[in-house]
Structure 1
Amino acid sequence: MDEYERSEHQSGQDVDAALQELMSVSPNTPPDAAGAHLLQAERVYVRWHRDDYYLDGEFALKSLRSCLSGNYVTFEDSRLAEDQREVMRDLKIFEEAPGSGRMTGIRFPAGGTSESEIWFYDMNQLTLESLDIDYTTYLDTLLATGGVAGWQYLFADLDFRNDAFRGIAKDLGEMLSYFRQVFPDRDYEPLLHRLEARQ
């Protein structure tokens, strides 16, 4: 591990309110499992690499309370289409890889009738993708992948045979092969199926 930083929560955190917020963004999460997804810190940052440096990961995870509170910076990318820029302005960022230009946020569609959406922005690929994933599944998968670059694309509707994504697909294949050996008790089959479906 190259870096690990953990900032403490501000005093007076209301756990019940935090659980309600979590259930509002992941209503399908069983209530008895929701507490395990509450971040016990304001922010956690991790950066690591394998000994051969071929595989690495990075993530900075913000507490859901901070994400939803409105105390965040609005990101813009003028290279995106106008409808995508509008989505990006609505995003409340809860996870990013500061060294890579990638970030993920929650969006609540106008009208308040639809469930929250998870969107992934990648400055390097110039993409803003809607992800087929909820907040708690995102956290579980983030930990399972260790923040390897581009794992979020496994939950996006795209084709890895596209030249722009072939390198990412290769790295994700290496990650899944390696992690299945290192963490034999963790089930990586669903991620492997997603990778194969996009190749």
Structure 2
Amino acid sequence: MADLTPCEAHWVKIVEELRDNPAIRDARATLSDPGSTLGDAPTAFAELAGRGELDKSLHEHYLRFAELGCQWSAAEPHSVHGEFWLGNISRALPPLDVEWEVFPGGGRPAPPSSSELRVIDDGPYTGTGFFVALRLQPGVPNPELWYCDGSSDLWLLDLDFLGYFEVLGLTKGAFGWQHLFTDAPLTSEEFGGKVRRLRNMLESLPEIFPDHDYEPLRARLAERLR
């Protein structure tokens, strides 16, 4: 494999943590060789932004991989599953053009149009329909991130671009972790299943990956459930 940047080496290590961990079964990893044909970070982010301009701090998370990801399931007694898929940012595309659910009363921000979004993480192997996309807006150098959990809802994330990938690396893409950072009503009966999944994730991951600190995520879930 070509010489890797620190960011690229970090993500290769995350894939290896899943692929080589005896507590993980069925780890289906995708890891292409980083290619020079995809250009450098300034060029890629300029292509993404089009006529706009994105903050240069975003360049810290730039991957030359055409594709990098892993779909995985934990072995018993754990019951946690996940997937992430990251491509080169210059090739990020809008999601399918669907009509997102709009909540009346102004309690939540109106969802953007699909044409403003560029998908930066999704799950092509499991096909659950989840994705995370950044929102391109004129004059907004630090883009919003929006999360679709596979339903017709689109949720604004309380994470910026770099923060998203930091938590993604920690959770390894365990399904539904993003709801720790949405304003979804987790105390409602409707979200009971998602809360059980979050609790299970935060019980299982510290045992599977004991070298990582999950206490901040546990504290965040506790706060969200108050």
Is TM (by shorter chain) over 0.5?
Answer: yes
1:75/1:89 contact within 8 Å kept: no
1:76 aligns with 2:97: yes
1:104/1:118 contact within 8 Å kept: yes
1:141/1:73 CA distance change after superposition, 3 Å: same
Q: CA RMSD in A?
A: 2.8
Q: Gaps (5+ residues) in structure 1? A: none
Q: In the alignment, which residue of structure 2 is the partner of 1:59?
A: 84
1:79/1:107 CA distance change after superposition, 3 Å: closer
Q: In the alignment, which residue of structure 1 is the partner of 2:115?
A: 89
Post-superposition Cα deviations, 1:18-40, rounded to whole Å, max 9, x if no partner, equal 6866993574x7x8xx2xx3224
Post-superposition Cα deviations, 1:33-71, rounded to whole Å, max 9, x if no partner, equal x2xx3224111131111113721111211222222xxxx
1:164 aligns with 2:198: no
Identity of aligned residues (%): 26
1:135 aligns with 2:156: no
Which amino acid counterpart does residue 198 of structure 1 have in structure 2? R
1:121 aligns with 2:117: no
1:121/1:128 contact within 8 Å kept: yes
1:63/1:38 CA distance change after superposition, 3 Å: same
Match of 1:39 among 41, 60, 63: 63
1:168/1:131 CA distance change after superposition, 3 Å: same
2:71/2:82 contact within 8 Å kept: yes
- Work out the CA distance in 2 between the residues paired with 1:131 and 1:194: 14
- Work out the CA distance in 2 between the residues paired with 1:79 and 1:107: 15
- Work out the CA distance in 1 between the residues paired with 2:129 and 2:114: 14
The TM-score normalised by the length of structure 2 is 0.71
Q: Gaps (5+ residues) in structure 2? A: 1-25, 104-109
1:158/1:198 contact within 8 Å kept: no
